[in-house]
Amino acid sequence: MGQVAFDTQEFVETLENAGLPKDQARAISIAVRKSHEVADVATRRDLEDAKKDIGVRFDKVDAQIAEARKDTAAQFEKTDAKIAEVRKDLAFDIADARKEAAARADRTDAQIALIRKEQAADIALVRKDMEALTNGLLIKLTKVMLGCVGLASAIVTIAVKFF
């Protein structure tokens, strides 16, 4: 730091003019000068230099903050681009999954329709077989009934002849 401008000779003369003896005025002047040296007092110039240094430091910090903001903005843009890309990929994947699910559903529906047709054909065959079996049983039952009627009429005829 700079020294405070202090004119010891002028100070001594001022003290002498005030009525102090020359030895006392000199001793006081030396004591004041030494106190200024020890006190390390800042001068206006020191304050102006410090102000300039602080201004330069603030400018550097402002520049660093601006650079950090640019870097952060660039990182956000990159991140936003990556997120958009991931969303686009997911949209394509979801669309593919939906198409695949729809295709599987169509295949399943076709298989179900085929199975239903096969079952309907099998049921028709079973009905046809049941109808044929029913007709066969009806014919046999008719024969048995005719046989029973014939036997009953023979028994009645024999019984009438003997009684």
DSSP at 18 = T
Give pTM, 2 decimals: 0.43
User: What is the C-alpha to C-alpha distance for residues 73 and 102, in angstroms, rounded to an integer?
Assistant: 43
pLDDT digits (tens, 9 = 90+) for 87-101: 999 999 999 999 999
Res. 6 pLDDT band, cuts 50 70 90: low
Of the CA atoms within 13 Å of residue 67, those in its CB half-sphere come to 6
Distance in angstroms (rounded) separating the CA atoms of residues 156 and 45: 159
pLDDT value, residue 141: 96
The per-residue pLDDT for 151 is: 95
- Distance, CA of 68 to CA of 16 (rounded, Å): 65
